[in-house]
């Protein structure tokens, strides 16, 4: 492996070493003693929390599949007008901040369900419809239905046909989707904290409680390790199951059928029901932003720009509400954090992805390294950063840009995942063609690689920005009062009493929905425009 190949990846590796590896090492070496391990692992409450984390995640996986599979089947097996729009709309929950979804469920559900297990699991399912849809539907699209008929004509019954033909073909996709959903639900923080209440703690939320409320850093680190072990086990289990599926039928041609007759009616019902369920929390959120208590009012929106509106609202004591300055500050903080995180992650991911692609199969280890931020939960990462960068010239905890740094670490694997497959598809012969026409290596990189990657770069930047806008775990650890990000501010407002305060939370959540959806529409539109290349010159 040449040093030159690795050079482009060095900034990202250094970044991960400083802002991911170092905090984790500091947590392990400086904060944990042997007694912490035995103390935490022998405590009954630890296992109760671990058990709850596990089964609520499993229940969430089941709920997600129940909600998403009908639409996944219909989209995966049928061609119809507006298919792309339905898929995009059904996926919207995944791109929304967890706090926003939690706020949406609070706005939607009756008061007695605001803090409940049902609300928690429903919110988890809402998030993860997109995972099931995006992972399983493409596999269904390319599954050759003729194989089922072939099995039947060879004497296989319905069950045998399913177990010997359909399931082996689908197993990898189903296991992957279930694994991803499990990990998301297992490490969910904002939803648990907002909808689970104080009595329902998962490992993730207990890490935060121990670190911040109790000051038990050693215990928090031990729990983080337990969590990493569980996640790594799930990942390895998923890989093992996927490997077994290597004997599955290969992907074949597109065999989508046009939706017609009874199938069209069934499909229409599935689409209407699923999309209604997806839209309901968002509509409830928007409507609730115009209500203070039971009264329709613009006070929540006015309080964004006018401190007088807070004082003039009779339903709520002014002291309960948050000032316009604080609300606008959180908007600005979130905006600039997202932009900076996207820029940093994009620059680092581009170098890393370039090296991964150049090294080919020898670059697998680097690809795996780039995924490491995914197995360290944001709460653990935030905790590590708090205890690492806590004094002297590197006491960066109070700076606004430090949250962006963390978000760039969290977003890096996603950006790499977007860029690498696209980059692998850029034919090396195009670079050869440019070379024989006189282009230097730098010109080839700019004119060929970067130009062909542009939609992927825009998509990666949008994705990191969306993640940053919604990230809660690390931001809640690092945000300082007066410079809180929107999700942190929303969670804080939802945790307080007072009608106007709650309305303000709904207003900010609605703003965040609009911001995230706009970012994603921009990404989509960037990708579409690129399919019609126009003259582009340096001159």
Partner 1 sequence: MLDVVDLTVRRGAQVVVRRADLLVKHGERVAVHGPSGCGKTTLLHAIAGLLAVYTGQILLDGVDITATAANRRGIGVVFQDDQLFPHFDVAENVAYSLRVQGVARRERRRHADDWLERVGLGGFAQRTINSLSGGEAKRVALARTLAASPRVVLLDEPLTGLDASLHDRLLIDLRLLFDQLQTTVVLVTHDRDEGAALAHRATEFSALLRE
The answer to whether the beta carbons of residues 366 and 355 sit under 8 Å apart is yes
* Residues 434-473, interacting with partner 1 (CB under 8 A): 434-440, 443, 447-448, 451-452, 454
Compare residues 390 and 432 and give the one whose CB is closer to partner 1.
Answer: 432
Q: How far apart are CA 120 and CA 126, in angstroms?
A: 10
State the burial class of residue 338 (Cβ atoms within 10 Å of its Cβ: 0-12, 13-18, 19+): buried
User: Shortest approach of partner 1 to residue 3 CB, angstroms?
Assistant: 18
User: Shortest approach of partner 1 to residue 38 CB, angstroms?
Assistant: 54
User: Shortest approach of partner 1 to residue 441 CB, angstroms?
Assistant: 8
Compare residues 10 and 439 and give the one whose CB is closer to partner 1.
Answer: 439
Q: Could you tell me which stretch among 56-64, 102-110, 178-186, 525-533 binds partner 1 (CB under 8 A)?
A: 525-533
Q: Which two tokens stand for residue 339?
A: 């932009």
Q: Could you tell me which stretch among 57-65, 263-271, 305-313, 428-436 binds partner 1 (CB under 8 A)?
A: 428-436
For residue 533, state whether it binds partner 1 (rule: CB under 8 A): yes
User: Shortest approach of partner 1 to residue 434 CB, angstroms?
Assistant: 7
For residue 81, state whether it binds partner 1 (rule: CB under 8 A): no
Compare residues 2 and 44 and give the one whose CB is closer to partner 1.
Answer: 2
Q: Residues with Cβ < 8 Å from 229, sequence gap 6 or more?
A: none
φ, ψ of residue 459 to 5 degrees: the values are -65, -40
DSSP helix/strand/coil, 306? coil
Compare residues 154 and 427 and give the one whose CB is closer to partner 1.
Answer: 427
User: Shortest approach of partner 1 to residue 83 CB, angstroms?
Assistant: 23
User: Shortest approach of partner 1 to residue 343 CB, angstroms?
Assistant: 23
For residue 538, state whether it binds partner 1 (rule: CB under 8 A): yes
First to last CA, the chain: 37
φ, ψ of residue 274 to 5 degrees: the values are -65, -45
Q: Residues with Cβ < 8 Å from 497, sequence gap 6 or more?
A: 320
Compare residues 246 and 436 and give the one whose CB is closer to partner 1.
Answer: 436
DSSP helix/strand/coil, 316? coil
φ, ψ of residue 160 to 5 degrees: the values are -65, -40
Compare residues 81 and 532 and give the one whose CB is closer to partner 1.
Answer: 532
For residue 532, state whether it binds partner 1 (rule: CB under 8 A): yes
236-260: string of b/e by CB count within 10 Å (b at 16+)?
Answer: eebeebbeebeebeeeeeeebeebe
Q: Which two tokens stand for residue 82?
A: 């507006």
For residue 243, state whether it binds partner 1 (rule: CB under 8 A): no
Compare residues 295 and 440 and give the one whose CB is closer to partner 1.
Answer: 440
User: Shortest approach of partner 1 to residue 429 CB, angstroms?
Assistant: 5
User: Shortest approach of partner 1 to residue 436 CB, angstroms?
Assistant: 5
Q: How many CB atoms lie within 10 A of CB 66?
A: 11
- Quickly list H helices, 187-306: 190-191, 203-208, 217-244, 261-288, 299-305
Compare residues 260 and 433 and give the one whose CB is closer to partner 1.
Answer: 433
Contacting partner 1 (CB under 8 A), which of 254, 432, 482, 528? 432
Q: Which two tokens stand for residue 471?
A: 């990230």
User: Shortest approach of partner 1 to residue 346 CB, angstroms?
Assistant: 19
For residue 1, state whether it binds partner 1 (rule: CB under 8 A): no
Q: Can you give the three-state secondary structure of 133-200, one letter per residue?
A: HHHHHHHHHCCCCHHHHHHHHCCCCHHHHHHHHHHHHHHHHHHHHHHHHHHHHHCCCHHHHHHHCCCC
Compare residues 480 and 530 and give the one whose CB is closer to partner 1.
Answer: 530
Judged by CB under 8 A, the number of residues near partner 1 is 27
Q: Residues with Cβ < 8 Å from 282, sequence gap 6 or more?
A: 92, 104, 513
Residue span 374-413 as binding mask against partner 1, x where in contact by CB under 8 A, dash where not: ----------------------------------------
Q: Could you tell me which stretch among 23-31, 42-50, 194-202, 424-432 binds partner 1 (CB under 8 A)?
A: 424-432
Q: How many CB atoms lie within 10 A of CB 44?
A: 7
For residue 4, state whether it binds partner 1 (rule: CB under 8 A): no
Compare residues 10 and 430 and give the one whose CB is closer to partner 1.
Answer: 430
Q: How far apart are CA 329 and CA 479, in angstroms?
A: 12
User: Shortest approach of partner 1 to residue 480 CB, angstroms?
Assistant: 44
**How many residues are there in the chain?**
539
Compare residues 421 and 533 and give the one whose CB is closer to partner 1.
Answer: 533
Q: How far apart are CA 279 and CA 390, in angstroms?
A: 43
Compare residues 368 and 446 and give the one whose CB is closer to partner 1.
Answer: 446
Contacting residues toward partner 1, per CB under 8 A: 427, 429-430, 432-440, 443, 447-448, 451-452, 454, 530, 532-539
């Amino acid at each position: 492996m040449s040093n030159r190949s690795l050079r482009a990846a060095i900034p990202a590796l250094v970044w991960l070493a400083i802002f991911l590896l170092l905090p984790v090492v500091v947590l392990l070496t400086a904060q944990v003693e042997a007694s912490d391990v035995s103390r935490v692992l022998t405590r009954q409450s630890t296992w109760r929390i671990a058990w709850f984390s596990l089964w609520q995640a499993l229940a969430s996986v089941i709920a997600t599949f129940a909600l998403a599979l009908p639409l996944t089947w219909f989209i995966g097996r049928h061609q119809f007008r507006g298919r792309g729009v339905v898929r995009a709309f059904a996926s919207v929950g995944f791109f929304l901040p967890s706090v926003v979804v939690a706020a949406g469920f609070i706005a939607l559900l009756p008061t007695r369900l605001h803090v409940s297990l049902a609300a928690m699991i429903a919110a988890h399912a809402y998030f993860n419809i997109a995972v099931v849809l995006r992972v399983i539907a493409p596999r269904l699209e390319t599954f050759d239905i003729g194989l089922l008929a072939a099995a039947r004509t060879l004497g296989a019954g319905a069950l045998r046909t399913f177990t010997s033909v359909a399931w082996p073909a689908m197993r990898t996709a189903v296991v992957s989707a279930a694994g991803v959903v499990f990990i998301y639900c297992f490490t969910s923080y904002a939803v648990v904290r907002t909808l689970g209440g104080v009595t329902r703690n998962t490992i993730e939320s207990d890490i935060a409680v121990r670190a911040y409320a109790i000051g038990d850093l050693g215990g928090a680190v031990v729990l983080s390790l337990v969590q990493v072990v569980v996640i790594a086990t799930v990942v390895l289990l998923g890989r093992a199951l996927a490997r077994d599926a290597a004997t599955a039928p290969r992907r074949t041609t597109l065999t989508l059928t046009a939706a017609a007759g009874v199938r069209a009616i069934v499909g229409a019902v599935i689409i209407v029901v699923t999309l209604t369920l997806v839209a309901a929390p968002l509509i409830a959120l928007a409507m609730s932003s115009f209500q203070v208590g039971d009264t329709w009012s613009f006070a929540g929106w006015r309080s964004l720009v006018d401190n007088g509106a807070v004082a003039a609202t009779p339903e709520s004591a002014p002291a309960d509400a948050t000032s316009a300055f604080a609300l606008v500050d959180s908007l600005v903080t979130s905006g600039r954090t997202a932009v900076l995180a996207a820029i940093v992650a994009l620059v680092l991911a581009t170098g890393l992805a370039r090296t991964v692609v150049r090294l080919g199969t020898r670059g697998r280890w680097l690809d795996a390294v780039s995924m490491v931020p995914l197995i360290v939960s944001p709460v653990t990462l935030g905790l590590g950063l708090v205890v690492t960068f806590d004094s002297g010239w590197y006491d960066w905890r109070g700076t606004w840009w430090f949250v962006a740094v963390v978000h760039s670490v969290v977003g890096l694997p996603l950006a790499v995942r977007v860029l690498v497959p696209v980059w692998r598809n850029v034919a090396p012969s195009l670079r050869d063609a440019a070379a024989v026409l006189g282009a230097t290596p730098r010109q080839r990189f700019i004119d060929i690689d970067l130009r062909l990657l542009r939609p992927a770069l825009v998509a990666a930047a949008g994705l990191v920005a969306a993640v940053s806008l919604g990230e809660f775990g690390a931001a809640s650890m690092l945000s300082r009062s007066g410079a809180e990000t929107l999700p942190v501010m929303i969670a804080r407002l939802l945790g307080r009493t007072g009608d106007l305060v709650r309305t303000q939370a709904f207003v900010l959540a609605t703003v965040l929905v609009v911001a995230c959806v706009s970012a994603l529409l921009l990404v989509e539109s960037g990708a579409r425009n690129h399919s019609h290349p126009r003259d582009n010159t340096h001159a």
